[in-house]
Amino acid sequence: MDSAQLRRHTATALTLLAVAVCYYATARLGLLQQLVRGQVTPLWPPTGIAVAALLVFGLRIWPGIALGALVANASIGPSALPVLIIAVGNTLAPICSCLMLRRAGFRDDLGLLRDALALVFLGALGGMLISATVGSGALALSGALPPGGFWPTWSVWWTGDAMGVMVVTPFLLALRRARRPHGAGLSRWVEAAVLVVCTVAVTLLATDTSHASFLFLVFPFLIWAAFRFERAGAACCALGVSVFAILAAGRMTGPFAHRGLLTNMITLQAFNGAVSLTALVLAAVVTERERTYQEIKRLCTQLSEKVAHQDT
């Protein structure tokens, strides 16, 4: 094996290890907000990391996902065989999501409306059916769930994994392409700071008030972020808002107080889904409009240059 091959294999091994570590670390964070049996949460960040890693590095990265899923689930049981089955489901789900997205012609810059819709409906809602079904089935067959507990667990599992893709994957894809803006004046930085402060303040207010309708006060700020800061701003705002909402649901405070698990899950995931979909779609529409404008501008410049050349 020559030095070039050794460097490639070393880089691949380090990448697999990094994916596994990130999967495990974010799994531990996600479990802090568990709602069912200590291992089913309303937001499972590892799925977002797994889908993003597969889109960026390719399918060869799947062993890192499998290792992270196996280690993360080994510490919470219930026994060896169900843990292995759950890890297989957690690995297959993002792989299938990646394959479906590639089949649909998905581009990871999320620059087109169809890319945003594909990520939501194929990558999140479609692909995560696998992990939810396999995981909930494994828990049910092992006796870890009470009678009648399959469907409540399945619903939390599915929406939690789907939210991980809808919230975390766009953030990571946007972060990968983030660059320090050139020529951004002081007013632009001030606007970004004001947006962050206002979004955090309104989200905290909305999640501290008992009226669920107050949650929708955050949407003007999501629209602001999408129109002014496009994908990066929309992805960051959506992630922050969803995290604050999940923390409130875990504490059962604000609009999630004095309500049952099913009611809270419906409220939380409907809100998070609306936040993610609004941010992704608006950012994609704005980016697509800007690209169209730049293309028209370029063609007009070429046309004027040709006309000027003919006149001379």
Mean pLDDT by 10 residues, the chain (312 residues): 76 91 90 61 89 93 94 81 92 96 90 89 93 91 82 85 92 82 76 92 88 86 90 89 86 80 79 90 88 86 80 62
Q: Is the dihedral of CA 164, 166, 172, 175 positive or negative?
A: negative
Residues 154 and 10 in one domain: yes
**DSSP bridge pairs for 40:** 36
Output the CA–CA distances (angstroms, integers) from residue 220 to 94, 110, 113, 242, 284, in the order listed: 32, 21, 20, 15, 17
Q: Retrieve residue 55's tokens.
A: 């889109």
Residues 173 and 205 in one domain: no
Residues 167 and 296 in one domain: no
Looking at residue 93, which CATH number applies to its domain? 1.10.1760
Residues 166 and 28 in one domain: yes
Residues 133 and 99 in one domain: yes
Cβ–Cβ under 8 Å, residues 64 and 17: yes
Q: What is the pLDDT of residue 184?
A: 67
Residues 303 and 288 in one domain: yes
Q: What is the pLDDT of residue 39?
A: 52
Residues 138 and 49 in one domain: yes
Structural domain ending residue among the three candidates 121, 143, 177: 177
- Nearest in space to 145 (alpha carbons), one of 272, 285, 38, 267: 38
Q: What is the pLDDT of residue 66?
A: 95
Structural domain ending residue among the three candidates 133, 153, 177: 177
Residues 131 and 244 in one domain: no
Residues 164 and 146 in one domain: yes
Q: How many domains, the chain?
A: 2
Q: Retrieve residue 198's tokens.
A: 């206002």
Q: What is the pLDDT of residue 79?
A: 81
Residues 164 and 253 in one domain: no
Q: What is the maximum span of the chain, computed from C-alpha positions, in angstroms?
A: 85
The boundaries of the domain holding residue 171 are 1-177
Say whether pTM exceeds 0.75: yes
Q: What is the DSSP string of 7-56?
A: HHHHHHHHHHHHHHHHHHHHHHHHHTT--BTTTB-S--HHHHHHHHHHHH
Structural domain ending residue among the three candidates 117, 144, 177: 177
